Chains A and B, each alone.
Chain A
Amino acid sequence: MSIKAIQISKTFGTFKALENVSLEVPDGKLVSLLGPSGSGKTTLLRILAGLEFPDSLETSRVLFHGKDVTAAPAGRRGVGFVFQHYALFKHMTVESNVAFGLNSLPRKERPAKDVILTRVCELLQLVHLDGLGGRYPSELSGGQRQRVALARALAMNPKVLLLDEPFGALDAKVRKDLRRWLRTFQEEIKVTTIFVTHDQDEALELADEVVVMNNARIEQVGDPQTVYDRPVSPFVIEFLGNVNRFVAGVGSETKDREKDVLYVRPHDVELEPEDHETHAYALKAKVQHVFSAGNYGRVALERVGTREPFEAEVSRERLRELDLVPGRVVSVIFRHVRLFPKGEFLEADIRDGSLVASTSSFSAKTMYS
């Protein structure tokens, strides 16, 4: 079922938790809501679920498959909701937890007892919890509880699955496993799914589409590749992955340009020996630290002159070749930079030594001087 949210605003007292947020999720997609704490992710999810309602039921709309459900209560929306802290029924066994929804159906629609039991067993198998049906939630691990919550939500065959930080409280390993599992699982049953996270890796790895939220608004919507490679705002680029930030145009003739900001991902920073002569506009920087644990070596540098700190990510091989030690000065070339003059987005490539930007007449010289 497709989901459409139109102009959702929500205020708590005087605090704006959501401002005119619109969002469209096509049928069967897995979408992540990504954003810093307090950006309104949970609030948006709760409004979609019918646990919270927008300020105005006239201007704001929530459509499920084209049908207006803006004012419909949670129980009538056919939504499966998984809470961040599981919210299991503590005094019920795993089985009763999962069967709760089916047992809540009006008598006429309620399946027979053995049908419910079969369904519960199927679901427990699906979430790899077969055999644990008789336990109480307190007798399960965090990851198992999370899966009970998921099975409980799935029991009603929801058309839409909403997950609020489903893996937030779990350790890195379990998190990763569950993440993979959710992905294959979602592809299997093809239920439209929105999940909240503030972990960018999770969002990028898992989702068909990433919705980046900030300050009660949606900053950008796009597939993981797009939001990572073509971020529309400084916020998105800073939130998704590591990035070096330079204030560009410092010392140039116009004051406006002092606000221009240049971003370079650490893996777009190339290091060469100091005497390397290929680039006219290469920077000089001094090595501060070298961290070589992991697949890549990370090098902390300090720009000579301005003393701006930044980071480079180079292969371990290259690290060996360059023989970097703290204090050594190197030439630095940016393979790929992004520039936001006055909030406008420009993509630039200074591979050949000059800044090529679609609408900019800045020269690399201006930017670096």
Chain B
Amino acid sequence: MNDTSDSNDISSAFGRGGKAPRANRRVLPGFGLSLGFAVSYLSLIVLIPLAGVFLRASEISWEEFWSIVTSRRVVASYKITFGISLAAAATNAVFGLIAAWVLVRYSFPGRRIFDAIVDLPFALPTAVAGIALTTIYAENGFLGQYLYPLGLETAYSRIGIYIALTFIGLPFVIRSLQPVLESLDKEVEEASATLGAGRWRTFFRVIFPAILPAWLTGFSLAYARAIGEYGSIIFISGNMPLRTEITPLIIVQRLENFQVAQAAAVAAVMLVASFAILLVINVLQRWSESLGQARG
């Protein structure tokens, strides 16, 4: 009936743009703009300040730099920081997975409170956490009094550092996993069950691959957080050189002695190492996603 007017409308609607649609267009426009913004933001907030570290570190000669960053005390601190952080992040990965599972899959009295408590390590000033943990785990503390007789020196020791790092890293794994666990398709598990798979097989073959990327994210966040932790450790570790001295503490000490270049040198090493570790985890994560999950 009004064919003509319709076709007019359509052609004019097309005509208004004036350009032929570009190939490779996305549904949401503005890719260039948003990428530009993201890059400048990242540079301003993260990259430029970090570059300052290298700039400062370059004020000293290469030999001097090398002797500082490979001195016995500093190397021992790397081992403590990166090693214990890894142990704490791994612990959090395992228990965080279990805790997230329980929070998502079961309803029990007090679930909401449990859920809220998970965020506490985020909110608490780290110094408060350090003091609280030290009080509890000291030789005559609430828990320490039972642990010391068992040979577990939980304060002023590496175990103390491990406890503090586990504490502050707790929320990361749980919070990364929760939304993914919630959005898991229940029917996929049921399909697995009707095919005769037992619970373990269903978990490891069906559920685990789906949550693996999120789990690795949680792990790397917890690890990164632990590596950079300072406030809570200095109270519980005792800060004994070679034994319980962490790298961030060394940096702060040098700064306090006005050895800014030395501090920057150690910081630069830490920066490079952290970046390398995060990169590896990121690659692992990509790989786990490419197991088909991301294509879904």
Contacts and interface: CB of A to CB of B under 8 A. Distances in A.
A127 interface: no
Interface string B174-203: 000000000001011011111111100100
Given A91-B209, A91-B293, A136-B292, A75 B196 contact: yes
B292 A91 contact: yes
Given A83-B187, A137-B296, A90 B210 contact: yes
Interface string A56-67: 000000000000
A74 B193 contact: yes
B194 A138 contact: no
Contacts of B201: 104
A104 B194 contact: no
B295 interface: yes
B194 A75 contact: yes
Contacts of B192: 89, 100, 104
Given A75-B197, A89-B206, A138-B296, A81 B191 contact: yes
A236 interface: no
A105 interface: yes
A93 B295 CA distance: 12
Given A49-B194, A79-B194, A87 B291 contact: no
Contacts of B185: 85, 87
A232 to B, nearest CB: 34
Given A101-B195, A104-B195, A74 B190 contact: yes
A243 B206 CA distance: 48
Contacts of B293: 90-91
Interface string B284-296: 0000000111011
A92 interface: yes
Contacts of A50: 194
Contacts of B191: 81, 83, 87-89, 149, 152
A75 B193 contact: yes
A54 interface: no
B187 A91 contact: no
A138 B210 CA distance: 14
Nearest to B293: A91
Contacts of A139: 295
A51 interface: yes
B196 A104 contact: yes
Nearest to A109: B196
Contacts of A89: 188, 191-192, 205-206
Contacts of B194: 49-51, 74-75, 77, 79-81, 153
A365 to B, nearest CB: 47
Contact of A87 (B190, B196, B210): B190
Contact of B196 (A90, A101, A149): A101
Contacts of A49: 194
A138 B292 contact: yes
Contacts of B210: 90-91
Contacts of B198: 75, 104
A51 B209 CA distance: 23
Which bracket fits the contact residues of B?
Answer: 20 to 34
Per DSSP, chain B at the interface is helix
A75 B293 CA distance: 25
A139 B194 CA distance: 24
B289 to A, nearest CB: 9
Interface string B51-87: 0000000000000000000000000000000000000
Interface in A95-138: 100-101, 104-105, 136-138
A155 B195 CA distance: 9
Nearest to A81: B194
Contact of B190 (A83, A88, A90, A93): A83
B203 to A, nearest CB: 13
A204 interface: no
Contact of A156 (B196, B291, B292): B196
A137 B293 CA distance: 10
A151 to B, nearest CB: 12
A85 B187 contact: yes
A51 B197 contact: no
A195 to B, nearest CB: 15
Contacts of B209: 91
A168 interface: no
A73 interface: yes
Interface in A153-168: 153, 155-156
Contacts of A75: 193-198
B64 to A, nearest CB: 51
Nearest to B186: A87
Given A81-B190, A83-B191, A87-B190, A138 B197 contact: no
Contacts of A76: 196
Nearest to A158: B194
A136 B291 CA distance: 10
A152 B187 CA distance: 14
Contacts of A93: 292
Nearest to A104: B197
Nearest to B209: A91
Output the residue of B190, B194, B291, B296 with the most chain A CB within 10 A.
B194
A289 B292 CA distance: 54
Contacts of A153: 194-195
Interface string B253-272: 00000000000000000000
Interface string B158-182: 0000000000000000000000000
Interface of A: 49-51, 73-77, 79-81, 83, 85, 87-93, 100-101, 104-105, 136-139, 149, 152-153, 155-156
Given A87-B185, A104-B196, A138-B295, 16 more contacts: A49-B194, A51-B190, A51-B194, A74-B194, A75-B194, A75-B196, A83-B190, A90-B295, A91-B209, A91-B292, A91-B296, A92-B292, A101-B195, A104-B198, A138-B292, A139-B295
A-B CB proximity, top 7 nearest: A101-B195, A91-B292, A87-B187, A90-B296, A104-B197, A87-B191, A75-B196
6 contacts: A75-B196, A75-B197, A77-B194, A91-B292, A101-B197, A104-B201
